Amino acid sequence: MSIGAHVNNIALHHMVFALPFAYMSAFLAAGGVPPLWELFWITVAIAGARSAALALDNLADLKYDKQQERLSYRVMVRGDVTPRAAKISIGVYFLIFLAAVLQLKPICIKLLPLAAIPFLVYPYTKRFTCLCHFILGVAVSMAPAGAWVAVRGTIDLPLIVLCTAVALWIGMFDAVYGAQDEEFDRSHGLHSLATAFTARGALRIAKAVHAVSIACFLALGMMLQMHGVYFIGVGVAAGTLVYQHRIVKPDDFSRVTQVYFMRNGIVSLAMFVFTWLGFYL
């Protein structure tokens, strides 16, 4: 069993969905560039938490993933990472997460149980609720929430707006990606927006909620009186979402590939980069 197999199991490149928003949150909380040591420990904490969460998700879904041909590439499905090894790695990742949080403001360790609940619960929510996508969104939004608290030490209205935007964005992205599994999920007693409202209905809901997400990003910029360049980032994010929705049809998911999946990282990268630029213009 190689280190590479464990790296593949946690899909390290998927950090692009959470880490840029954490950095964006840290910059907004600091009103500029936060202390580099705080950014370092924020990065380590998010890497640890996210790795533990994804490994747990893959472990929880293993029996279903083995029955899906399109998921045959996953290392746990192939047997390159055993369930026992996955459990050990989850413990290691969580310890890394805990060690990093202890380096930040004391309030962070006090709030850790609250932050951990969503990613511990999410892997099992598809067993009983079609709202599982929103739980995933809340779990991912803990990255910017933690970064803000680590820098400022408080929970403020702009943070709530930012976390809402992130949660709605990633949750509906997950709903779109998962809509292709409508038939499989229904036949196995799993829940999603697609099983509750059909794939067509899920895509319509995702479009509407993504519009709310963009509205939240706009509201955040106005609340904090951000430089105009910030709103260019919002425009890039909105354009990316519009394009992503245009190429997906309820009867044709052929373009919902890994490229489609990773392209959503443009949203988080654009929001962070243009937020960062706003502090220098």
Which structure tokens are listed for 54? 């994804």
What are the CB-based long-range contacts (under 8 Å, 24+) for 185-189? 185/126, 188/64, 188/67, 189/127
Widest CA span in the chain? 54
pLDDT of residue 14: 83
Which of 130-165 are b and which e, b meaning 16 or more Cβ less than 10 Å from the residue's Cβ? bbbbbbbbbbbbbbbbbbbbbbbeeeeebbebbbbb
The residues of the chain scoring below 70 in pLDDT are 1
How far apart are the C-alpha atoms of 70 and 36, rounded to whole Å? 41
* Domain ranges, ordered by start, for the chain: 3-278
Give 3-278's CATH code, choosing from 3.40.50.1970, 3.30.530.20, 1.10.645.10, 1.10.357.140.
1.10.357.140
Contacting residues for 269 by C-beta, under 8 A, at least 6 apart: 16, 20
pLDDT of residue 78: 92
Which structure tokens are listed for 186? 């229904």
pLDDT of residue 1: 56
Half-sphere exposure of 201 (CA within 13 A, CB side): 9
